[in-house]
Every structure is written in structure tokens, then in C-alpha cells.
């Protein structure tokens, strides 16, 4: 198939590399010239282990290219996948402006007299009802009565974890395909051919709410574990032993990964989707007291980690923060708890160095770039190389995501903020 992918962030770039590796032809579309240039040079626009190799191979075979504006090429496409961002708005709801704009661009470029409908699949997280109440009216406004014959509307959430995204793409926990009436989509079946996973063909709204349920549940597990961890730490109880007992119940407690007391949750999905679910609950008169407490609990945990890490340390002391991204093997700084840790350390008057092997200021693009400089404008002066980190003497080294094992640090005190003892 010939497939257009709108939005070349972490989700879109991974999709481009994986889909092209399956033998399909991919056209990536993004307003950021730097991302387009990277793909056209056979490089990934974002850092994800193994993705550069997939894109380089596809580029060499002529199966992937990118552009800032897709027009006539859409006529030949069998499928278009929308992966643009839906960041948090000021009220917590998703900002749908990028979705609306890209939908309008697609509608204007699409010819209403196509031989067969274009399958238009959205992967961006959005409020249930968005496909019917925002996207479809835009398509109808441009295509009129011919919209139903020109477009097959699909909502297809992704379940990728940064740093393991390629493995997750080819081995997902499930495949969810939402359509009007839950009818099967031939194009989506062809896209997922050869991928073994439970397939759920459901209505659009059932598919749209999937990521809210999943990400809010993951956030619940992290916040719950950290609340228990704080109580244990303050009562001189081994949270590690308590966790070992808790996770041994694999019939009920399910996941050891999310229930391990340690770092706060962050990244581009959990915080914004929790906020959006809070907004939806308030907007619909629903009472979700636990969900409402998640962000506050997470912020409290960030401050608890800062106080615990710096206990007894005088302002002006030399501190090394190891790991700035929200998890290992990614360069994503969006809502990273480590960025908050760095900001708190600076505001408290510590002399701060930061080491993260994946962070290069000149490679930050898009929302990642905006977030980094909005919350840590000194980032260029704070980052040090591995050689510098290993050469200097520190009063305190704080590891945020277990990267400390990759660098030999000389520090009076070492705190692993990704764990609670």
C-alpha cells in the first residue's frame, strides 16, 4: 500500500519506519522542515533505538520520503495515518487545533470522486466523540455529500512505549480499530497483516477512550505505589520488601513494572491524558476523585524526591543529575520529572551539572524543544559530557532513571531517585 503519515514525532516516525520495513511505501508529512529533511536523508527525526536503521534501509530502497505539504500525492494513497500532537490546553482538555488543521488540509487535498475511499486513521489521543463531532464535520464541510464515499474514518490508538517502540509496534498487547458501527476495515487489516495480537473492532468512541483508560490506569498504579513508598520510607519500612510481597500476587496485582515505588510519572502521554480525563469527567458531571488526585500526588512525589535527595546538603554544593529525559533510551523531555528535579535544584542554589547521553540541544525539535527551554532555559550550559561527569568531583549525584550504571561518578553521596529503598 501507499501510506501517508501526518506528524513525524515519536509515534509518526516509528510508524513510518516500521510500516516501510513491511514493504509499504510511506510519505511522511510534517510542518517542521528539520523532521522532513531528516527523513529525506534516511535518518529518524527522533531518537528511538533501532529506528535509524529501519528508516535508512527503507530510504535506500525508495520506500520512504517526506514533505511539508501533501497535495496531489494523496490521490494515490490507500491509507492516511494522523499522528499529530494533542497537547494539554490551559483547562486540561486536549488542544485539538493540530487535529483540526491537518484534517482540513487532508479534506482540501482529497478528490471527492476517488475510485475507492481513502482510509483515514487517527492515532492521536483525543476526547471520545472527536471523530464524529470535530473530524467528520470538517470532512463533510469540504467534500459535501461525497464525504462518505471518499473517506473511511478510523480511530486506531497506538500502544508504543518510547525506547521499546519498534518491538511494541510489531508485538502490541492488542490492536484496536474503531469505525462507524464497528465494521471491519480492509485497509487496516492489510496494515496489520502478520502482526499477532488480539484485535478489537469496535465503534469510534470505544476506540477513542481506550488510551484514556490505559494511561490513567498506568498513572493510578504509579501514584499508588509512590504513596505507599512515601509512607514506608517515612516509617523506616523497606518499600522494596513491601513491593516484593505485593507483586508476588500475579493473579490480582498484575504488573510489577508500574507498581514499583520509584520515579514520578511523566512523558508526553500520562500527564496530559489524566488532565484530559479530569476535564471530561467534570464536563460530563462524573465524579472521579482518585483520577482528580493523580497529578497532585505525582507533584507531591516529585517534591518528596527532591527533599529526600538534598537532605542535609548546603546550597552551593556541586550536584550531578544523571538522566534528564523522562526514561532511559529516549530524548523526550516533555513533562519529565527530571526536568522538575533540575529546576528545583537550581532554584535551591545548587551548582548543577546534567549528564544524559541522548540529549543534544541542537537535536531538540517541536514540542520537545519548546518544553525544554520553557522549563529549563539554561539547558545548554548545564549539560556535560560523560568525560566531564567522570572527571569532576560532586557532593551529590542524583540518578533519575538508572543511567548511573553507565557512568563512573565521583560523588560523596549517590541518590537513585528512580527507586525508594
pLDDT of the residue at 19: 98
Unique residue bearing C-alpha cell 528511538: 48
Mean pLDDT of 130-159: 96
Q: Is 50 exposed, middle or buried (0-12, 13-18, 19+ CB in 10 A)?
A: middle
pLDDT of residue 159 exceeding 70, the answer is yes
Provide the 10 A C-beta neighbour count for residue 186.
11
Mean pLDDT of 207-222: 92
Query: What DSSP string describes 21-73?
Result: HTT-EEEEE-S-HHHHHHHHTT--SS--TTHHHHHHHHHHTT-EEEES--SGG
pLDDT, greater one: 406 or 81: 81
Residues in the chain: 421
Dist CA 160 CA 267 (whole Å): 13
Dist CA 51 CA 49 (whole Å): 6
User: Mind listing the pLDDT tens digit for each residue in 314-366?
Assistant: 999 999 999 999 988 888 999 999 999 999 999 999 999 999 998 887 777 77
CB 332 within 8 A of CB 48: no
Provide the 10 A C-beta neighbour count for residue 410.
12
Dist CA 32 CA 9 (whole Å): 10
pLDDT of the residue at 89: 87
Q: Is 362 exposed, middle or buried (0-12, 13-18, 19+ CB in 10 A)?
A: exposed
> Which three cell numbers, joined as nine digits, stand for 297?
500526588
pLDDT, greater one: 366 or 399: 399
Lowest mean pLDDT among 143-157, 174-188, 191-205, 225-239: 225-239
pLDDT of residue 404 exceeding 80, the answer is no
Residue 18 annotated in active site: no
Element (H, E) at 410: strand 410-416
pLDDT of residue 5 exceeding 80, the answer is yes
Count of H helices and E strands in the chain?
18, 12
Mean pLDDT of 384-413: 90
Mean pLDDT of 41-65: 96
Query: What DSSP string describes 304-341?
Result: HHHHHHTTTPPTT-EEEEE--SSSTT----TT-HHHHH
Portion of the chain with pLDDT greater than 90, in percent: 72
How many whole angstroms from its chain centre is CA 410?
Answer: 33
Lowest mean pLDDT among 22-26, 137-141, 211-215, 252-256: 252-256
CB 176 within 8 A of CB 157: yes
pLDDT of residue 253 exceeding 90, the answer is no
Kindly list the distances between the CA atom of residue 96 and the CA atoms of 79, 92, 102, 135, 164, in Å, as whole numbers in the listed order: 22, 12, 10, 10, 27
pLDDT of the residue at 46: 94
Domains and CATH numbers, the chain: 2-204 (3.40.50.720), 213-306 (1.10.1040.10), 310-416 (3.40.50.720)
User: Mind listing the pLDDT tens digit for each residue in 180-190?
Assistant: 999 999 999 99
Q: Is 168 exposed, middle or buried (0-12, 13-18, 19+ CB in 10 A)?
A: middle
Dist CA 120 CA 103 (whole Å): 9
Dist CA 130 CA 342 (whole Å): 37
Dist CA 168 CA 252 (whole Å): 24
Dist CA 283 CA 183 (whole Å): 30
CB 14 within 8 A of CB 160: yes
User: Mind listing the pLDDT tens digit for each residue in 299-319?
Assistant: 999 999 999 999 999 999 999
Q: Virtual CA dihedral for 63, 67, 72, 75, nearest 10 degrees?
A: 40
Give the active site residue among 18, 77, 131, 269: 269
The rounded mean pLDDT for the chain is 92
Pairing of strands 151-155, 118-122: parallel
CB 85 within 8 A of CB 273: no
Confidence of residue 255 (pLDDT cuts 50, 70, 90): low
Instruction: Kindly state the DSSP code that residue 117 receives in the 8-state scheme.
Output: -
pLDDT of residue 260 exceeding 80, the answer is no
136: left (phi over 0), alpha (psi -120 to 50) or beta: alpha
> Which three cell numbers, joined as nine digits, stand for 324?
534528564
Amino acid at each position: 500500500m501507499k501510506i501517508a503519515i501526518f506528524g513525524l514525532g515519536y509515534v509518526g516516525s516509528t510508524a513510518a519506519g516500521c510500516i516501510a520495513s513491511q514493504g509499504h511505501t510511506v510519505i511522511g508529512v510534517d510542518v517542521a522542515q528539520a523532521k522532513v529533511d531528516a527523513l529525506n536523508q534516511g535518518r529518524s527525526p527522533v531518537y528511538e533505538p533501532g529506528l535509524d536503521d529501519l528508516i535508512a534501509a527503507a530510504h535506500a530502497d525508495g520506500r520512504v520520503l517526506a514533505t511539508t505539504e501533501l497535495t496531489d500525492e494523496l490521490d494515490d494513497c490507500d491509507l492516511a495515518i494522523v499522528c499529530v500532537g494533542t497537547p494539554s490546553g490551559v483547562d486540561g482538555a486536549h488542544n485539538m487545533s493540530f487535529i483540526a488543521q491537518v484534517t482540513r488540509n487532508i479534506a482540501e487535498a482529497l478528490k471527492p470522486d476517488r475510485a475507492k475511499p481513502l482510509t483515514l486513521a487517527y492515532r492521536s489521543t483525543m476526547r471520545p466523540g472527536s471523530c464524529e463531532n470535530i473530524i467528520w464535520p470538517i470532512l463533510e464541510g469540504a467534500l459535501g455529500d461525497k464525504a462518505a464515499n471518499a473517506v473511511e474514518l478510523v480511530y486506531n490508538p497506538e500502544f508504543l512505549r518510547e525506547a521499546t517502540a519498534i518491538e511494541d509496534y510489531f508485538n502490541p498487547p492488542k490492536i484496536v480499530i474503531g469505525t462507524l458501527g464497528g465494521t471491519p476495515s480492509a485497509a487496516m487489516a492489510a496494515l496489520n497483516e502478520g502482526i499477532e495480537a488480539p484485535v478489537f473492532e469496535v465503534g469510534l468512541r470505544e476506540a477513542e477512550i481506550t488510551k484514556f483508560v490505559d494511561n490513567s490506569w498506568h498513572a493510578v498504579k504509579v501514584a499508588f505505589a509512590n504513596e505507599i513508598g512515601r509512607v514506608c520510607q517515612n516509617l523506616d519500612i523497606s518499600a522494596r520488601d513491601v513491593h516484593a510481597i505485593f507483586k508476588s500476587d500475579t493473579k490480582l496485582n498484575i504488573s510489577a513494572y508500574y507498581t514499583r515505588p520509584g520515579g514520578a510519572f511523566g512523558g508526553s502521554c500520562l500527564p496530559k491524558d489524566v488532565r484530559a480525563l479530569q476535564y471530561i469527567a467534570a464536563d460530563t458531571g462524573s465524579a472521579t476523585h482518585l483520577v482528580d488526585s493523580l497529578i497532585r500526588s505525582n507533584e507531591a512525589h516529585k517534591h518528596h524526591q527532591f527533599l529526600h535527595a538534598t537532605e542535609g546538603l548546603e546550597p552551593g554544593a556541586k550536584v550531578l543529575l544523571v538522566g534528564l529525559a523522562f526514561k532511559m533510551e529516549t530524548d523526550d523531555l516533555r513533562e519529565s520529572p527530571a526536568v522538575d528535579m533540575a529546576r528545583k535544584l537550581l532554584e535551591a542554589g545548587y551548582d548543577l551539572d546534567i549528564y544524559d547521553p541522548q540529549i543534544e540541544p541542537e537535536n531538540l525539535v517541536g514540542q520537545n524543544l519548546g518544553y525544554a527551554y520553557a522549563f529549563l532555559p539554561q539547558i545548554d550550559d548545564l549539560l556535560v559530557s560523560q568525560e566531564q561527569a567522570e572527571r569532576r568531583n560532586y557532593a551529590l549525584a542524583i540518578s533519575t532513571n538508572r543511567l548511573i550504571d553507565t557512568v563512573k561518578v565521583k560523588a560523596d553521596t549517590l541518590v537513585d531517585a528512580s527507586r525508594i529503598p
